[in-house]
DNA sequence: GATTAATTTAAACGGTCGTTTAAATCATAC
DNA sequence: GTATGATTTAAACGACCGTTTAAATTAATC
C-alpha cells in the first residue's frame, strides 16, 4: 500500500457512510473501521474531521462541474444562436445523473450525499455551493438567452426548481422504488435523464405567472 | 404552567433546532436549554429521543395533509370532470408553502425540517413518508385523471419531481437569497406558489419523452 | 545496512452524548 | 392542612466523540 492508498480508502469510506447515514451522524471511528485504517490516520492525512468532509466533496465536484461545462460548451458551439432549452438542461442534469450510478468511477454514493448537502449543519452547504459558482453563472446565463421572456427572479427560481427535481432520483434511491412498487427505478439512468429533460424544459419554457415582465 | 406547556415548549424548541442544525446534530441538552426545560423532562414527556423526533413530525403533518385533501376535495367538487392540473398542483403545494411561513401557527421552521427529512439517518424518512400514503394516492390519482397521456411510471416520476421542486423554496431559506443577492425571496410565499404552479403544471403536461405509451 | 523521513499504530485526553435514578417541588382534592 | 399524584429537578452513569501524543513500523536514500 503506497501513500495514496489509505488516503483514498478513507475518502471512499467517508463518502459511503456520509451518504448512508448523514455527515453529522457518521463518526471518524466508523470511517476508520470501514476503510479500514487507524483512527489517527484520518488526522494524519486530512488534519481534521471538517477537512475530511470538504475533501470528500472536492474530489467529485471538480470533475462533475467540468463535464457540465464541457457539454454546455459543445451545445453552444453547435447551435446557431442560443441552444435549445433541452440541450442546456441535459448538459446540467446528465453528468450528475450518470455520476450517481457510475460504479466504476466510484461516484455511486456521492450524488446521494450531494442531495443531503442542504440538510447538513453549519455553513457547509454555503461553502460547498461556492464550488458551483461558475457553473451557476454559466447555466443561468445560457438559460437566460434561451428564455428571454422570463424575469431574472423567475429564471433563477426555475433554476432552483430544476436542481430540486434532479435531486429526487439522486436522493430517493431507496424510498422511491419502495413507494412505487419498483415502477420508478432510479438506476434507469438514461431514461430518467430524458424524463427530467422533458419535464424541466417544459416547465422552464412556461409563461411566467404574472405575464413575465422582463 | 400547566402540563402541556413544557410539552409544547419542548416540541417547539426541538422543531426549531432540528430545522436549524439537523436532527442528528441536535442534542437533547440543547433542546432543553432552548425550551427552557430540564433535560430529564424530555424523557418524562416523550420517553426517548426518537419518540420526540416522531412527535415533532406528527404534530404538523396531520393538519398539513388534511388541508391538502380539503383543497383537492374542493377542486374536484367544483370541476366538471377532472380539475385542471394547476388546481391539483396548487392544492398540493400551497398548504406546505403557507405552513412554512406561518409564524402564527408556528410552522415556520417545520417545512425546512421536512426538506431535511430525506437526509436523515436510518428509517426515519420511510417511517414519516408513511404518513403521506393517503395524500400520495389521492394526488397521483387526480393527476392521472387530468394527464391521461402519461404512463404510470412517467406520472409517478413527475410527482416526485414536483416534490423536489417544492422543497427548494422550503429548504433553501438561507442559501437561496444569499446566492441571488436577495432577488429570490423564499418568504414571498404567494408569488412563489404561483411560480411553482406555473412551472410544475407545464412540466407535468409536457409530452412524455418516449411519446408516452399509456 | 545505517539513516532519515513517511506512515501507521495503540493509548489516552477531556468533553458531550442519551438515559436513569431518586429526591424535591408543584397542583389538586379531600 | 394534609395526603396523593403529577411534574420538575440535580446528579450521576457508562458510552462514544474528535483530537493529541509518542512510540512502532514501513519505505526510501545514501
Query: Within 7 Å: CB of B39 and strand C?
Result: yes
CA dist., res. A56 & res. A110, Å (int): 9
As a whole number, the mean pLDDT across chain A is 89
Report whether pLDDT(B213) > 50.
no
Structure confidence at residue B170 (pLDDT): 86
Span B13-23, average pLDDT: 90
**Among the partner residues B121, B161, B171, nearest to A199 by beta-carbon distance:** B161
| Of A26, A34, A186, residue with least CA distance to B22 | A26
Q: Average the pLDDT over A88-108 and give the result.
A: 86
Pick from A77-81, A203-207, B3-7, B70-74: least confident: B3-7
CB of B9 closer than 8 Å to CB of B106? no
Q: pLDDT digits over B58-99, tens only?
A: 999 999 999 999 999 999 999 899 999 999 999 999 999 998
Of A172 and B3, the structure prediction assigns the larger pLDDT to: A172
Per-residue pLDDT at B6 exceeds 60: yes
pLDDT tens-place string over residues B28-52: 999 999 999 999 999 999 999 999 9
Cβ neighbours of B154 in A, within 8 Å: 195
pLDDT confidence of A1, banded at 50, 70, 90? Answer: very low
Q: How many residues does chain A have?
A: 214
Residue range A73-102: average pLDDT?
A: 94
Q: Which nucleotides of C are covered by protein (CB under 7 A)?
A: 6-12, 16-22, 27-28
**Is B51 near chain A, with CB under 8 Å?**
no
Contacts of A196 in chain B (CB under 8 A): 161
Extract long-range pairs of B138-146: CB within 8 Å, 24+ residues apart: B138/B69, B138/B72, B139/B68, B139/B72, B139/B88, B139/B91, B139/B92, B142/B72, B142/B76, B142/B82, B142/B83, B142/B88, B143/B85, B143/B88, B143/B204, B145/B82, B146/B82, B146/B83, B146/B84, B146/B85, B146/B88
**Vertex B5: Cα angle to B38 and B124 (nearest 5):** 75
The Cα B29–Cα A68 span in angstroms is 44
Mutation to test the B interface, candidates A109, A127, A147, A164, most B Cβ within 10 Å: A164
* Backbone φ and ψ of B102, nearest 5°: -90, 85
**pLDDT value for B1:** 44
Beta carbons of B185 and B177 less than 8 angstroms apart: yes
A191 part of contact set with chain B, CB < 8 Å: yes
Residues of A in contact with B121 (CB under 8 A): 20-22, 25
> Which of A87, A170, A99 lies closest to B161 in space, CA to CA?
A170
Contact A158, B153 (CB under 8 A): no
Q: Which residues of B touch A123 (CB under 8 A)?
A: none
Question: B189: how many CB neighbours lie within 10 A of its CB?
Answer: 17
User: CB burial class (10 A; 0-12, 13-18, 19+) of residue B14?
Assistant: buried
Rounded to the nearest angstrom, the minimum Cα separation between A146 and chain B is 16
Residue A122 has pLDDT above 70, yes or no: no
Nearest-CB residue to A119 (from B22, B183, B199)? B22
Q: Is B137 on the interface with A (CB under 8 A)?
A: no
Among A residues 151-180, those touching chain B with beta carbons less than 8 Å apart:
152-154, 156-158, 160-169, 171-172, 174-176, 178-180
CA A209 to chain centre: 28
| Lowest-pLDDT range of A132-136, A187-191, B169-173, B191-195 | B169-173
Residue B103 predicted with pLDDT over 70 = no
pLDDT bracket for residue B13 (50, 70, 90)? very high
CB-based contact (8 Å) between A49 and chain B? no
Q: Which chain A residue has the Cα nearest residue B201? A: A203
| Nearest-nucleotide field for A5 (CA, C1') | C7
Q: Which nucleotide is nearest to B25 (CA to C1')?
A: C17
Question: What is the Cα–Cα distance from B116 to A169, expressed in whole angstroms?
Answer: 16
Does the CB of A5 sit below 7 A from strand C?
yes
CA of B121 to C1' of C20 (A): 26
Q: What is the pLDDT of residues B146-193, one digit of tens each?
A: 999 999 999 999 999 999 999 899 887 778 898 899 999 998 999 999
Higher pLDDT, A8 or A125: A8
Q: How much is the pLDDT for A192?
A: 96
Q: How confident is the model at residue A210 (pLDDT cuts 50, 70, 90)?
A: low
State if pTM tops 0.75: yes
Residues of chain A with C-beta less than 8 angstroms from the C-beta of B201: 206
Render the burial of A160-171: b for 16+ CB within 10 Å, e for the rest: bbbbbbbbbbbb
Interface test with A, best of B19, B24, B172 (most A CBs within 10 A): B24
B189 touches chain A (CB under 8 A): no
Would you give the distance in Å from CA A79 to the centre of its chain? Answer: 26
Contact at 8 Å (CB) between A125 and A35? no
Closest protein residue to D20 using CA and C1' atoms? A40
State the Rg of chain A over Cα. Answer: 19
User: What tens digit of pLDDT does each residue of A137-156 get?
Assistant: 999 999 999 999 999 999 99
Q: Do A184 and B136 touch (CB under 8 A)?
A: no
pLDDT exceeds cutoff 90 at A15:
yes
Residue A129 has pLDDT above 50, yes or no: yes
* pLDDT for res A43: 98
pLDDT (average), residues A184-207:
96
- How high is the pLDDT of residue B32? 97
Residue A93: which residues within 8 A CB-CB, separation 6 or more? A162, A166, A193, A196, A197, A200
State the number of CA atoms in the 13 A half-sphere of B45 facing the CB. Answer: 22
pLDDT above 70 as % of chain B:
91
Choose from A206, A207, A214 for mutation: most chain B CBs within 10 A.
A206
B35-39 long-range CB contacts below 8 Å, 24 or more apart?
Answer: B35/B6, B35/B9, B35/B10, B36/B9, B37/B6, B37/B9, B37/B10, B37/B13
Q: Are A166 and B164 in contact (CB under 8 A)?
A: yes
Q: Which residue has better confidence, A205 or B4?
A: A205
What is the C-alpha to C-alpha distance for residues B30 and B17, in angstroms, rounded to an integer? Answer: 8
Q: Which residues lie closer than 8 Å to B172 by C-beta, 6 or more apart?
A: A118, A160, B186
Determine whether B82 is exposed, middle or buried from the number of CB atoms within 10 Å of its CB (0-12, 13-18, 19+): middle
Amino acid at each position: 500500500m503506497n501513500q495514496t492508498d489509505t488516503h483514498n480508502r478513507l475518502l471512499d469510506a467517508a463518502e459511503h457512510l456520509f451518504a448512508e447515514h448523514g455527515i453529522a451522524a457518521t463518526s471518524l471511528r466508523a470511517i476508520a473501521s470501514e476503510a479500514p485504517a487507524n483512527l489517527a490516520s484520518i488526522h494524519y492525512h486530512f488534519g481534521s474531521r471538517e477537512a475530511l468532509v470538504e475533501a470528500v466533496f472536492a474530489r467529485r465536484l471538480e470533475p462533475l462541474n467540468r463535464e457540465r461545462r464541457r457539454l454546455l460548451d459543445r451545445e453552444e458551439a453547435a447551435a446557431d444562436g442560443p441552444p435549445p432549452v433541452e440541450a442546456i438542461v441535459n448538459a446540467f442534469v446528465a453528468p450528475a445523473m450518470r455520476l450517481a450510478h457510475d460504479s466504476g468511477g466510484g461516484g455511486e454514493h456521492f450524488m446521494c450525499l450531494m442531495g443531503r448537502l442542504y440538510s447538513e449543519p453549519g455553513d457547509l452547504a454555503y461553502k460547498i455551493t461556492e464550488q458551483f459558482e461558475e457553473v451557476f453563472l454559466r447555466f443561468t446565463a445560457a438559460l437566460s438567452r434561451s428564455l428571454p421572456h422570463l424575469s431574472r427572479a423567475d429564471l433563477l427560481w426555475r433554476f432552483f426548481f430544476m436542481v430540486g427535481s434532479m435531486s429526487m432520483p439522486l436522493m430517493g434511491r431507496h424510498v422511491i422504488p419502495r413507494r412505487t412498487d419498483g415502477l420508478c427505478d432510479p438506476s434507469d439512468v438514461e431514461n430518467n435523464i430524458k424524463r427530467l429533460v422533458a419535464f424541466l424544459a417544459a416547465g422552464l419554457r412556461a409563461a411566467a405567472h404574472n405575464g413575465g415582465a422582463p
